[in-house]
């Protein structure tokens, strides 16, 4: 199996505050790979660096997507090459309807209807709803997943896909992620939840901006539960024992 994404020795700082330090990781094509870690370990930053958001392109190290070095590519070029991002808290768009938002990636009303049903939203109720604060965070999250499905990317980074989702719906979100993967999309899940991490094929534990452990999700999640949840060093590994 080939690597779709390779991160080699990535370091990134904001105002002399080191967020990622020599982070390396290979993501295999057509897998689900979770990035697990407590708050503030650099998980979201890693997602933004892969997507190439404006303030996250001045990095040390190399990013390869399908064997091409993409450090110099802006967000649009990366997206058009097949990378996309689902935000932890999706944007609020005043006025923009769900239909118009989803039409960014398809002209087919039938496809929009199908994908809304897939993410558990009634098309009759939601197609003309506006993507404003009238929608809950969970509803916006499902709509964002719908837009990812319609885009058909090669790689999607989902930042905390389970946050803001009620417990009953988490299983549905997991199913959607697995469906995405079955349709050929490589999925990176950024999460602090061992449960969410367990649906992955591979998992990486991130601590203090470094790749602490990569392996089977169960092993990584167990390590995370046993060590990180009770860890007092809070992203200062030099000051304590792992």
Partner 1 sequence: MDRKKEFEMIVDAYEKSGGQKNDLLDKRFGSLVVNGTDVLQSNVPEGVSLEILSKTADMIEVKLIVEENVKMEFPVHMCFGMAGRSGRQHIVSHYEIRKNAEISVLTHCAFPGSEDVTHIMNSSIVLQSGSRLEYTEQHYHSDEVNISVEPYSEITVGRHAYYSSDFVLKNGRVGKLKIDYHLTLNDYASAVLRSRIFGKMDDDIYLNESADLEGKYSNAVIKSRIAATDNTNSVFKGRTAGLGDYSRGHIDCTEIIEGNGHAEAIPIVSVSNKTARVTHEAAIGSVDKKQLETLMARGIGKEDAVDIIVNGMLD
Going across the sheet that includes 60-65, the strands are: 17-28, 3-14, 60-65, 68-69
75 is a contact residue toward partner 1 (CB under 8 A)? yes
Q: How far apart are CB 224 and partner 1 at their closest, in Å? A: 28
d(CA 148, CA 86): 8
Short-list 145, 143, 141, CA closest to 127: 143
Site for partner 1 in 116-145 (CB under 8 A): 131, 144
80 is a contact residue toward partner 1 (CB under 8 A)? yes
88 is a contact residue toward partner 1 (CB under 8 A)? no
216 is a contact residue toward partner 1 (CB under 8 A)? no
Site for partner 1 in 6-25 (CB under 8 A): none
Q: Kindly indicate which of the ranges 93-101, 166-174, 187-195, 207-215 contains the residues binding partner 1, using the contact rule CB under 8 A.
A: 93-101
Helix 137-151 vs helix 167-182: angle between axes, to the nearest 10 degrees? 10
Short-list 122, 114, 121, 186, CA closest to 152: 186
Which single residue is written with the structure tokens 């946050």? Answer: 163
54 is a contact residue toward partner 1 (CB under 8 A)? yes
Q: How far apart are CB 80 and partner 1 at their closest, in Å? A: 5
Indicate which single residue of 44, 105, 181, 211 sits in contact with partner 1 (rule: CB under 8 A): 105
147 is a contact residue toward partner 1 (CB under 8 A)? yes
Backbone angles phi, psi at 190, to 5 degrees: -95, 125
Indicate which single residue of 16, 94, 107, 124 sits in contact with partner 1 (rule: CB under 8 A): 94
Q: How far apart are CB 85 and partner 1 at their closest, in Å? A: 5
CB atoms within 10 A of CB 205: 25
Q: Which residues pair with 157 in a beta bridge?
A: 85, 188
Look at phi and psi of residue 74 and say left if phi exceeds 0, alpha if psi is from -120 to 50, else beta.
beta
172 is a contact residue toward partner 1 (CB under 8 A)? no
d(CA 189, CA 32): 7
CB nearer to partner 1: pick between 88 and 211? 88
Q: How far apart are CB 50 and partner 1 at their closest, in Å? A: 11
Q: By the criterion CB under 8 A, which residues form the site for partner 1?
A: 51, 53-54, 75-76, 79-80, 84-85, 87, 90-97, 100, 104-105, 131, 144, 147, 151
């Amino acid at each position: 199996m080939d690597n779709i994404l390779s991160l080699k020795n990535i370091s990134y700082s904001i105002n002399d505050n080191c967020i990622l330090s020599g982070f390396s990781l290979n993501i295999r094509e057509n897998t689900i790979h979770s990035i697990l870690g407590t708050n503030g370990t650099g998980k979201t930053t890693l997602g933004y660096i892969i997507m190439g958001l404006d303030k996250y392109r001045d990095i040390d190290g190399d990013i390869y997507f399908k064997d091409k070095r993409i450090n110099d590519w802006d967000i649009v070029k990366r997206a058009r090459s097949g990378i996309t991002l689902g935000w932890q808290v999706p944007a609020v768009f005043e006025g923009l309807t769900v239909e118009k938002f989803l039409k960014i990636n398809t002209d087919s009303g039938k496809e929009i209807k199908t994908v809304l049903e897939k993410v558990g939203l009634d098309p009759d109720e939601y197609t003309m709803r506006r993507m404003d604060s009238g929608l809950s965070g969970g509803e916006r999250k499902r709509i964002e997943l719908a837009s990812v499905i319609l885009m058909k990317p090669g790689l999607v980074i989902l930042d905390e896909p389970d946050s803001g989702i009620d417990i009953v719906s988490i299983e549905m979100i997991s199913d959607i992620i697995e469906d995405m993967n079955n349709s050929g999309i490589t999925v990176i899940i950024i999460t602090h939840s061992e449960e969410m991490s367990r649906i992955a094929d591979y998992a990486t534990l991130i601590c203090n901006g470094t790749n602490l452990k990569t392996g089977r999700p169960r092993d990584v999640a167990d390590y995370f539960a046993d060590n990180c949840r009770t860890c007092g060093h809070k992203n200062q590994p030099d000051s304590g024992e792992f």
